[in-house]
Chains A and B, each alone.
Chain A
């Protein structure tokens, strides 16, 4: 049922990157998304390179500047249970905990979570859609109840990750490695919308992988939270989610970083929401205005208009919880 592929488990990063430098090689981290894609024939693989032998890619550790380095093979369960994250990067621990199911969180990795393919049922199913090289995005005229309300065209996928909005809101950066070179970029610049690249959701080049994610040291007075709306209590992707990081000084929001999930092809930074609360004292009026601001640029399809209400609702409720 799976395609025939070579399975390789390198013992060193260098070997792994060498093995990945060929066409149709795919990275196997937790495998929770890769195996599903291969079984469903979403894409082919002639070579699967497991990273499970690379212990240097695991773990959470403090960096010299007071931030954190999180190895790309760290599991979602490890993020969710980290006391450090819970205390200093609450939004990330909550996001990791809200993802998938306990079994999947034990297996799924940070790198894999950031690089997972969209869950659009046309992309995953037997439809030759725009993203797979076809002529149309079936979501435009079809069953689009879970699709994008921001930044959609020409392909209306939503980015499925729960941790991505949290990482972006925290100002994370990622270290990428390919062959013998590496680069570190802000995570926000890692994701690309379909109008820039219809086939890919990020800037990874063939053979390139995420090795680490870096979080800056939190500033004093920072509060954060992740709130996810879904149809059932577990094992469900976000209908809409909000990753919110705020610095509160003297009762007012001095800095705000707000990223929506489940509503756009990339983690969707809501500048209108940030602007609506920066410098403000959080009260019902500010919350209502911010909710309206966050939803203002939404452009829903036929069946996903409810997401506009969800954006407003999740913003208002979350802000009021800090009021």
Chain B
């Protein structure tokens, strides 16, 4: 038999005794280090195969014909021309047998079908084609002759409740009765206040722009469906398609290894997923269907615009006494809420006894909302954090100080349960220190027309704790290498790298000896979709549990061979050793049972979070801007993100999330917005990358620094909370506050750029503002 080689580079933590639960780590050797991605080379070299790279023998290409009107009824479809075109295999419409798949069942009113004749937004699917090349498919889709009865539309959510607004559904555009949250006595709160301010804030609709488009490759084999899907979660894809086609879960395999980015819109299936599978079924060929960039701008999801009226009362000493917020928004024509979570921080971020929020949601004839990186929170932050800035000025207090005065230790909106940790105070204090806040704030204003200013904004993210279920499997091979098997997706955040580090931490196996099998319903265990900043806090304890399970099994094997009770043994430095009798030890690679079985399979599970505490991440971001008072140009000079997200699992991926979140927040605050032609056609006018402006490298400061606040949270066995979403919440209001600090102009409505700022600066200069 070949000699076993056992690799060990680092001391490993002690294995829990049998039947004992693992304690949270006190210190770590590998976890927390700045480790490059385990798949970094593949991702950057082109070696990684993304779903959109998958090509199968005999594969056809799909294209979707979409409704060009915001509201219309299909009166006739003639597919004969399209069907006769070269390369075309299948054209499907509402009439096609098998196409009567129910859709939008979760919406409040009524059902609809995959190709429903009633199209309630521009971009709704009307028909689809599968052909031998993508170009043939597109040409054929455009050759389908459709007659529409164009119906009156409502696309401006602020006018959706007007008496003369055309109705999207039923009898009113209200999706439901206004939702109200209330605590304390709001009127008494305002009476007690020394200063009361009121302002209306508007934030524009932001669109999902992952590098990889939305879609899949679908293949049927003997009544079983396999899809290679660009997704955040293969299990929701499996469930969605099983439901669409009446299949058992066992008959749908979803594979989603590499994903070219996702921000919430890839959490579950889209119509494009069902259409690809249906085309493949009817054509009896694999079908690839990835939507075009125009379609991603038009109809696969968005972060809704919200109008927020916020009234706040504060005492002279900085005590917040009343917050009242009224929000209006729209999740589009179907499911989803336009105002969801857009009041949560008003309820929970600051200590305040009297709070009332009212949220109004309306339907409009526009593409539906989908979760987008901290749904609702950046919108809420835009209003709340600018209001905090204004209150601070009104009582002549430093904005950092005002926030520090109002930090809660319990979640007021969640039964006053204490937070497992709240690092908000440390984020503000240590962030301000590292940023040089006081010095920058007090710096003398320049004489010229370029003015500098600094701003701060804070946040919490309501989720980010993770929780069960999750099952992870570690296969520990007899040469000391490992395979980690987990169902979760790595949507580009570094999940694979972090989980490999957890295995390395527990088993002392170098990262390069660990392979990862993941995101495949055929070969991995159930995991919920990677979203909500919960992937690391959900999966890392399960992965750790699986690694510990491997260790326990090896100790048990060694116990038999050493004739020592397992509870007296520890696995350390590549050997199993008795804590009682130092002579009793055996190298792991020499354990006979392990050599015989060749592999130890450890299964790990995610246990529940404590019920008596609330876990969520906190942050404060600081920035410095330079404003050109003649032209309204704003240059973001530097940013600092101070984040408390529990244990820092990998400082490189942690920092990357902060860079990415700030970049996205700059887009939300300064350049991005969906523009609908609301007065005339209701169509979206900026459905391309030159009119829908995502920030470029020149819009993001090179100087972004990070401060990691780790208070040793023990709510799970790795202590990790989510980082992916809080990073984008306070960015836009931090910029707005910095602009105010620079030039004394308040931008209540995005975007912060010359199109909004120039007129206000001119008015101020000419004494009009």
Given the complex, which residues of A lie within 8 Å of B691, measured CB to CB? Answer: 119, 121
Does B693 contact A145, Cβ atoms closer than 8 Å? no
A233 near B756: Cβ-Cβ < 8 Å: no
Q: Given known contacts A1-B138, A306-B758, A310-B631, is B685 in contact with A233 (CB within 8 Å)?
A: no
Which listed residue, A1, A125, A233, A239, touches B754 by the CB 8 Å rule? A239
Contact of B680 among A2, A126, A138, A306 (CB under 8 A): A138
B671 within 8 A of A: yes
Is B295's CB within 8 Å of the partner chain A? no
Interfacial chain A residues near B135, Cβ < 8 Å: 1-2
Q: In the assembly, what is the distance between CA of A239 and CA of B761, in Å?
A: 17
Q: Do B671 and A310 touch (CB < 8 A)? A: no
**Residue of A119, A143, A314 touching B675 (CB-CB under 8 A):** A143
Cβ-defined contact, A141 with B679, below 8 A:
yes
The contact string, 1 if C-beta is below 8 Å from chain B, for chain A 220-233, is 00000000011111
Candidate in B685, B691, B696, B762 with the most chain A CB atoms within 10 angstroms? B685
- CA–CA, A292 and B679, complex, Å: 32
Interface string of B602-639 (1 = CB under 8 A from A): 00000000000000000000000000101111000000
In chain B between 660 and 694, which residues have their CB closer than 8 angstroms to a CB of chain A?
A: 670-671, 675-681, 683, 685-688, 690-691, 693
Q: Which residue of A lies closest to B69 (CB)?
A: A126
B394 to chain A, nearest CB (A): 28
Task: Report chain B residues within 8 Å CB of A124.
Answer: 688
B446 at the binding interface (Cβ < 8 Å): no
- Interface size for chain A: under 10, 10 to 19, 20 to 34, or 35 or more residues? 35 or more
Within the complex, the shortest CB–CB distance from A161 to chain B, in Å, comes to 14
Residue of A nearest to B667 (CB): A232
B646 interface contact, C-beta 8 A: no
Which residues does chain A contribute within 8 Å of B139, judged by CB atoms?
1
Cβ-defined partner of A314 (8 Å) among B631, B678, B693: B631
**Chain B, 741-762, contact with A by CB distance < 8 Å: what is the 0/1 string?**
0000000000101111011011
CB-based contact B759/A233 at 8 Å: no
A232 adjacent to B632 (CB under 8 Å)? no
- A232-B695, A234-B696, A309-B761 known; A121 vs B685 contact (CB < 8 Å): yes
Secondary structure dominating the interface of A? loop
The reply to whether B632 and A317 contact each other, CB–CB distance below 8 Å, is no
- Complex CA gap A234/B698 in Å reads 7
A313 proximity list for chain B (CB < 8 A): 628, 630-632, 758, 761-762
In the assembly, what is the distance between CA of A322 and CA of B632, in Å?
Answer: 20
Across chains A and B, the number of contacting residue pairs, with CB separation under 8 Å, is 102
Annotate B513-533 by CB proximity to A: 1 below 8 A, 0 otherwise: 000000000000000000000
Task: Determine if A235 and B138 form an interchain contact, defined as CB atoms under 8 angstroms apart.
Answer: no
Determine the chain B residues whose CB is within 8 A of the CB of A1 once the complex forms: 134-135, 138-139
CA distance A125 to B686 in the complex (A): 9
Determine the chain B residues whose CB is within 8 A of the CB of A125 once the complex forms: 683, 685, 687
Chain B residue contacts of A214, Cβ below 8 A: none
- Asked if A127 is an interface residue, CB under 8 A from chain B, the answer is yes
B68 contacts the other chain (Cβ, under 8 Å)?
Answer: yes
Q: Are A229 and B696 in contact (CB under 8 A)?
A: no
Give, as a whole number of angstroms, the nearest-CB distance from A109 to chain B: 19
Interface flags, A82-119, vs B, CB<8A=1, else 0 = 00000000000000000001000000000000000001
Q: C-beta contact mask, B68-79 vs A, less than 8 Å → 1, else 0?
A: 100000000000
Partner of A312, one of B671, B693, B762: B762
B449 sits at the interface (CB 8 A): yes
Give complex CA distance A314, B633 in Å: 11
- The reply to whether the CB of B10 lies closer than 8 angstroms to some CB of chain A is no
For A303, the closest partner residue in chain B by CB is B755
Partner of A229 from the list B449, B633, B688, B693 (CB cut-off 8 Å) is B633
Residues of A contacting B758 with CB < 8 Å? 306, 309-310, 313
Nearest chain-A residue to B681 (Cβ)? Answer: A127
Instruction: Kindly state whether residue B699 has any CB partner on chain A within 8 Å.
Output: yes
The distance in angstroms between the C-alpha atoms of A15 and B766, with both chains bound, is 60
Query: How near does chain A come to B515, taking the closest CB pair, in angstroms?
Result: 37
Q: Say yes or no: A229-B754 contact (C-beta < 8 A), given A126-B683, A314-B631.
A: yes
CB closest residue in chain A, given B685: A121
Chain B residues whose C-beta falls within 8 Å of the C-beta of A316 in the assembled complex = 630
Q: A141-B679, A306-B754 are in contact. Are A232 and B696 (CB under 8 A)?
A: yes
Nearest Cβ on chain B to A116's Cβ, whole angstroms:
12
Q: Which of A122, A141, A232, A233 is packed against the most chain B CB atoms within 10 Å?
A: A232
Other A-B contacts than A239-B754, A306-B754, A310-B631, 16 sampled, CB-CB below 8 A, are A121-B685, A125-B683, A143-B676, A143-B678, A145-B755, A229-B633, A231-B753, A233-B697, A234-B698, A236-B690, A236-B693, A306-B632, A313-B630, A316-B630, A317-B449, A317-B630
Jot down 20 A-B pairs with beta carbons below 8 A, ordered by A: A101-B696, A121-B686, A124-B688, A142-B680, A143-B675, A229-B633, A231-B670, A231-B693, A231-B755, A232-B696, A233-B696, A234-B698, A235-B696, A237-B690, A306-B632, A306-B756, A313-B632, A313-B758, A313-B761, A316-B630
Query: Chain B residues in contact with chain A, CB under 8 A?
Result: 68, 134-135, 138-139, 449, 628, 630-633, 670-671, 675-681, 683, 685-688, 690-691, 693, 695-699, 751, 753-756, 758-759, 761-762
